Structure 1
Amino acid sequence: MRIPVRFIASRVAFYLFTAWAAITINFFLPRMMKGDPVSAYMQRAAGKITPEAERSLRILFGLDKDTSLWQQYIDYWKLLFNGDLGRSFSNGLAPVGDVIASALPWTLGLVGIATILSFLIGTSAGAVIGWRRGSKADAIVPVSVFFSTVPYFWLGLIAIAVFSSILGWFPASHAYDKGARPELSFDFIGQVIAHGALPAITIVIASLGGWILGMRNMMLTVLDEDYITVAQAKGMPNRRVLWNYAARNAVLPQLQSFALSIGFIVGGTIVMEMVFSYPGVGKLLLDATNAKDYPLMQGLFLIITMAVLVANILADVAYAILDPRTRQTEA
């Protein structure tokens, strides 16, 4: 299977331009906002910072008033190439990269697994429901869509009230027991699974409706194609026609949506992490916004944007592999 060079070059050029635009906007956005991180930090310090210390902080954060905006922009790119995202005011001037790295595994573990599960379950269920159109299986669609229309906030609170407060099956908040220290042990892993099960199930239930409905509708369209009729006329088993022909083509539009979902995994589900007090990137972004921690906000926005771009690149590659028409059109 050969992917044309022109297809690859056009995609690389597009995503390089998009990455440059995202980084540039990420640089200028905090500087367009009222105030700046150093001024906000000085207000919290209540006059305990000397003018010399303020000057040092502005140089540290690339906000020196004696430096031109263009030079600040160049310096920002140099810092990025060195892997330096700045310092977080709300975390004792700790490196932003370290602060994000401490929260990222929790979000990838919770939202990542939940998103992948909801996609696999929803897409598979949608394919089967579409194949058996007109059967009792169609009743699953409105039920799943109903749960998708319920806001995450309410769904999370209902889950806590029922499965934590009343039944006591799952812990209500946090990623592990209070007083426990993160370590590689069966006891700690069990705590993480127990605390993450309820928010993960909630995310899966809230996301299933969209995947089921989208896949079912695409299956109804694909099943009317001639190649499906020909495959059935040749006497191929229904299972093979379903998965090798119908589902394989019907899933293509789902890949782009899945790519966006994978990209936004890094951003986390802010409302869900807030409801369950889960220490992920979403809650970290919320805390940074409340604290006006611009360097941390800037680093989080950059990481989220890059994750979405990488996910879309992977989706384009998968789309080109599964659908030859894409490669031929670009070529």
Structure 2
Amino acid sequence: MRYVINRLGFFILSLWAAITINFILPRMMPGSPADAMFAKFQGQLTPAALDAMKKAYGIGQSTLWQQYIDYLHGLFTFNWGLSFMQYPTPVSDMIRGSLPWTIGLVGISTLLSVFIGTALGVYISWKRRGFLDNTLPVVSMIFQAMPYFWVALLFVFIFGFKLNWFPMAHGYDPAITPGFNGTFFTSILNHAFLPALTLLIGSLSGWIIGMRNNMMYTLGEDYVTFAEAKGVKTSRLMFSYAARNAILPQLTSFAIAIGNVVSGSILTEQVFSYPGIGNQLTSAVQSQDFPMIQASFLLIAVAVLVANLIVDLLYSRLDPRIRTGGE
């Protein structure tokens, strides 16, 4: 219980720090978002219009403390301001529309990568010095060494442009009316295949090699050797004895990977014009859409903190020594 309370306390403190830093950084920039937007119109708007814009975006003569209170109130009421790119669309509506696409694409790709990579790492470590053990890590590292955007461009050129097997952009066919039907879901899967494959093969190597190395170390432990000498079945020895302990270090990497699901793979979404939050964040930076940038960065920070909290609690269940301080 003490361990859980400490983890929760650290989570709350980290969350407050992330929220506060996210509030302070934009206000350290010279001028204001409304002034930056006003400058784009090159004097086409009147001073009254500028004042109205400042009021709409919550920028006024109030003190910094009052702005911080209003900022916290907006966070907890999901009033994250209005977008500059799509004025007067609320930022929360834009995130609500793009976040499911990123979670669906990057989340499923990440889970598949973790599951496949971990399973392959367990298998090749058990069959060490075999054909797969000698070739699979090397081949997967070659793909991981390639930049995501380069692999994405290669897939677009070969499978989209040359072979015309898969669409090259968007999340679904614009000619299809969105709805809960087979045609729409088939179009989504068809458009998501290439970006998902790009993310999958780009991250697979880390999980394979990480799990293989952890298994090799665990298989050399005395308790595994003793269990093998007692005649424990191979399947139980591999999973219950070796893999269960070898997978613990993977959880830290898994927490980071799950936390990064919200941010998505920005360049991959950009190449495929995928309607996720990564592509939207890129457009927001180019358009100086400060409310959208601020909300996106905060969402990414919260996702990483929540993922780390969940994994910390799960880690304590898998390894009781964590709760007892290693005693």
- TM-score bracket, normalised by the shorter chain, equals over 0.9
- Mapped to 2, the partners of 1:101 and 1:189 lie a distance apart of 19
- Structure 1 residues 1-331: aligned runs within 5 Å: 5-64=1-60, 66-138=61-133, 139-329=135-325
The percentage of counterpart residues that share the same residue type is 47
Aligned residue for 1:329, secondary structure, equals coil
- After superposition, give the CA deviation of every residue in 1:271-303 in whole Å (9 maximum; x if it has no partner): 000111101000000000000000000000111
Structure 1 SS opposite 2:323: helix
- Taking structure 2 as the reference length, the TM-score comes to 0.96
In 2: Cα distance, 1:294 partner to 1:305 partner: 16
Classify the secondary structure of the residue corresponding to 1:35.
coil
Q: Residues 7 and 330 of structure 1 are in contact (CA less than 8 Å); yes or no, is this contact kept in structure 2?
A: no
Amino acid at match of 2:211: M
Give the Å deviation of 1:169. Answer: 1.9
The answer (yes or no) to whether the contact 1:62–1:76 under 8 Å persists in 2 is no
SS at match of 2:260: helix
Letter in 1 for 2:166: F
2: CA distance, partners of 1:227 / 1:245: 8
Q: Where does structure 1 differ by over 6 angstroms across 4 or more consecutive aligned residues?
A: none
Distance in 2, Cα, partners of 1:63 & 1:132: 63
Cα distance in 1, alignment partners of residues 326 and 280 from structure 2? 40
- Range that drifts further, 297-306 or 81-90: 81-90
Quick one: distance in 2 between partners of 1:253 and 1:34?
A: 44
Shift of 1:245: 1.3
Give, in angstroms, the shift of residue 45 of structure 1: 3.1
5+ unaligned residues in a row in structure 2: which ranges? none
Instruction: Give the whole-Å Cα distance in 1 for the aligned partners of 2:149 and 2:75.
Output: 36
Q: Residue deviations 1:35-90, cap 9 Å, x none?
A: 321012212333343323322332332321x2111111111111112221111111
CA distance in 2, matches of 1:215, 1:87: 45
> Any gaps of 5 or more consecutive residues in structure 1?
none
Displacement of 1:330 in angstroms is 7.7
Q: CA deviation at 1:124?
A: 0.7
Secondary structure of 1:325 counterpart: coil
How many angstroms apart in 1 are the aligned matches of 2:30 and 2:171?
Answer: 35
Q: Is the 8 A contact 1:6 1:330 kept in 2?
A: no
The Cα RMSD (Å) is 1.4
Q: Structure 1 counterpart of 2:149, which letter?
A: F
Offset of residue 172 of structure 1: 1.4
Equivalent residues, number: 326
| Deviations, residues 166-195 of structure 1 (Å, cap 9, x unaligned) | 332211111111333322211111100000
Q: Residues 73 and 186 of structure 1: is their aligned pair in 2 closer, same or farther, counting only changes over 3 Å?
A: same
**Aligned with 2:325: secondary structure?**
helix
Q: Which amino acid aligns with 2:40?
A: R
Query: Conserved in 2, the CA contact under 8 Å of 1:171 and 1:194?
Result: yes
Distance 1:330 1:266, change over 3 A: farther
- Separation in structure 1 between the aligned mates of residue 8 and residue 58 of structure 2, nearest angstrom: 30
Distance 2:236 2:164 in 1: 44
- Partner-residue secondary structure (3-state), 2:167: coil
